[in-house]
Structure 1
Amino acid sequence: MDHLLLVFIEVVEKKNFSRAAEELHMTQPSVSQQIQILEKNLGTKLLNRTNKFVELTKAGEIVYSHAKEITGLYKRMSTLVDDLMHEANGLLKIGASYTFGEYVLPHILANLKLKFPNVIPSVQIGNTREIAQAVLTHHIDVGIVEGEYVHQNVFMETVATDELYIMAGVNHSLSKNKEVTIEQLERETWIVREEGSGTREATDRLFETLNISPTTLVEFGSTQLIKEAVEAGLGISYLSDLTVKKEKLLNTIFMLNVEGTPIKRNFSILTEPVQLQTKSMQVFIELIQDFYKKQK
């Protein structure tokens, strides 16, 4: 990789020639010379210099943006080439939305540890919007989210479907009804996830599909908290069947019979383009696919 770009990036990020030289283990005159060569090669001034700091020119902003992309691609290329020569190993940064991350991912990780002990997972749990953004900014290698996410720089693959039901506590008055009407649902307190959550997106879609206009919404940032509130009789909610398996066994949550439900949604994997996937990412994705094949 062009050493001139590495020096340029360091100067920009340290905002000072001396600090950049110290970080690069070079002399300050050498760093200045490298920047001058780069500016000469490109035929334009890249940095405005003062005694205390440097700042980018408009041309410098363009070069810095592309230099960061070039160095990132070089690191990815080196990783992929090394990956071809070895078994799946190393750090794998995983992101998952709450439903998948809390109720499915632990089973996948247990299998990953058993079959590929040299892969070290690091897990970030967030809502769908946060996980998608983490993939885009390269903070994670692979994300699993509820619903779908479309972006030109993200590869999306649907791996499973999920069913969602309107649920109430077993002692709730609606749990005694053979069938629940839209008018009855509208009078209830709805406990929902926050904006940006895949489950909230599905809930909003439910309201639109069934033409429900709830009078009262209570917003919680945790599925577990929502389940406990439903069990306590605070209100009703729209939840994935995956999240209430234990509650159904304990008979603390009841699925309401509402025409038009349950409604299915997808779980999708988000990554950078396929050609940039490491071996660790590939085996992890295969484990997710195998897990759902066994559920059928």
Structure 2
Amino acid sequence: MLDQKLRTFIKVVEYKNYTKAAEALNLTQPAVSQHIKKLEAHYGLPLIELKGKAVKLTKQGEIVYNYVQVQRSNEAHLLNKLNRVSQPIRIGATLSIADYYLESYLDYYLHKGYDDVSVTVNNTKVMLQKLLDDELDGAFIEGIFDKDMFNYEAFTRTSFKAVVRHHHPLLKETRQLKDLYNYPLILREQGSGTRKIFEQYLSQQNESLLSFKKIYEIGSFMLLKSMLKNTDAVSFMYENVALKEVTNQTLDYVTLSDVTIERPLYFIYPKHSLKSEKLKTFYRRFFNADN
């Protein structure tokens, strides 16, 4: 990594002006002048000549400038090589996506012998924090996130459905959302993207979770679906999460005339990540876009 005095020197040369260099570096002009003086003292040679406000390199300054440019190029090359080192790509996924959307893609990716990958599963809130804390490189999420902070790709769109046990009273005819309020509601825990999306939808309808008869929080979809099979409770989840049970006729989707929720599922990673190119390659390969 280049010394700050050398970075200041480069900016002075590029802008040919101390004031503009100071603005670019968010430093005061005296601080810039001090950096140059210390650099000249270190080498024991004059590096810059001032003619009025114009900046001109001495012959010694030209040598230092060319050397620093080589060092900058070497540093960029080093970062690129480090980025390609065969370390596992640290990927996160929410429970919905990990268990019900990624299995076949992950099998294909590993079968092809691409870069090693480690997968962490948790809710959307935890995934976002791990990305910001540099504990993950990228994540598959379905929840709400700040698009100014992350690069993102929508890898699919899916329907968000009301789900109940097979032969539930709500299945006799087309219903409205208010018809569900008389039944217990089973939700994922706080921080879950699935829950956040449903809460946001209710808010847009000037409703809330308090409209329901009773609320249960379950952190596992397997346990949640088991409770649905054995009670008259209702839940909301992505279509694929209940697809197997609907096919086996143990659960069913409730047809609601006034509720249509379709959401994209995303792969995201922090903006300005040093692994951006590696993550783009991972994304293409993961979804077989390179073939």
What is the deviation of 1:92? 0.9
One-letter identity of the residue aligned with 2:108? N
- 1:108-257 to 2 correspondence within 5 Å? 108-115=105-112, 117-150=113-146, 152-175=148-171, 177-212=172-207, 213-257=211-255
Counterpart of 1:56? none
Contact 2:105 2:287 in 1 (8 A): no
Preserved CA contact (<8 Å) 2:183 2:232: no
Provide closer, same or farther for how the CA distance between residues 103 and 80 of structure 1 changes in structure 2, counting only shifts above 3 A: farther
Q: Tell whether the 8 Å contact from 1:171 to 1:233 is kept in structure 2 after alignment.
A: no
2:91 to 80, 89, 94: 94
Q: Which residue of 2 aligns with 1:81?
A: 81
TM-score (norm 2): 0.66
Pair 1:203–1:251, CA change in 2 (3 A): same
Instruction: Tell me what 1:62 maps to.
Output: none
- 1:249-285 CA deviation, whole Å, 9 max, x = no partner? 1011111111133411121222122663355422321
Cα distance in 1 between the residues matched to 2:75 and 2:139: 20
CA RMSD across the alignment: 2.9
Deviations 1:189-226 (A, max 9, x none): 00001111110012213323455521211111112221
Aligned-partner SS, 2:257: coil
Any idea what SS the aligned residue of 2:242 has? Answer: helix
Q: Matched residue of 1:164: which SS?
A: strand
Partner of 2:21: none
Deviation at 1:2?
7.0
TM-score by length of 1: 0.65
Where does structure 1 lack aligned partners over 5 or more consecutive residues?
4-40, 42-73, 292-296
What CA distance in whole angstroms lies between the structure 1 residues aligned with 2:145 and 2:186? 24
2:102 is equivalent to residue 105 of structure 1: yes
Shift of 1:181: 3.2
| Closer, same or farther: CA 211–167 of 1 in aligned 2, 3 Å | farther
Q: Counterpart of 2:80 in structure 1: which amino acid?
A: L
Task: Single out whichever of 268-277 and 139-148 deviates more from structure 2.
Answer: 268-277
Number of aligned residue pairs: give it. 218
**CA deviation profile, 1:122-149 (whole Å, cap 9, x unmatched):** 1111111110111111101111111331
In structure 2, relative to structure 1, the CA distance for the partners of 1:244 and 1:76 (3 Å cut) is farther
Deviation of residue 185 (structure 1)? 0.8
Q: Secondary structure at the match of 1:149?
A: coil
Aligned in 2, Cα 1:171/1:282: closer, same or farther, shift over 3 Å? Answer: same
Q: Based on CA coordinates, which of the two structures has the bigger radius of gyration? A: 2
2:244 aligned partner, one-letter code = K
- Structure 2 Cα separation of the partners of residues 112 and 127 of structure 1: 23
In 2, Cα distance between the equivalents of 1:2 and 1:145?
A: 37
Q: How much does 1:76 deviate?
A: 9.7
Task: Give the secondary-structure state (helix, strand or coil) at the position aligned to 1:259.
Answer: coil
Q: Conserved in 2, the CA contact under 8 Å of 1:190 and 1:214?
A: yes
Shift of 1:174: 1.4
How many percent identity over aligned positions? 20
Structure 2: runs of 5 or more not aligned: 4-37, 39-73
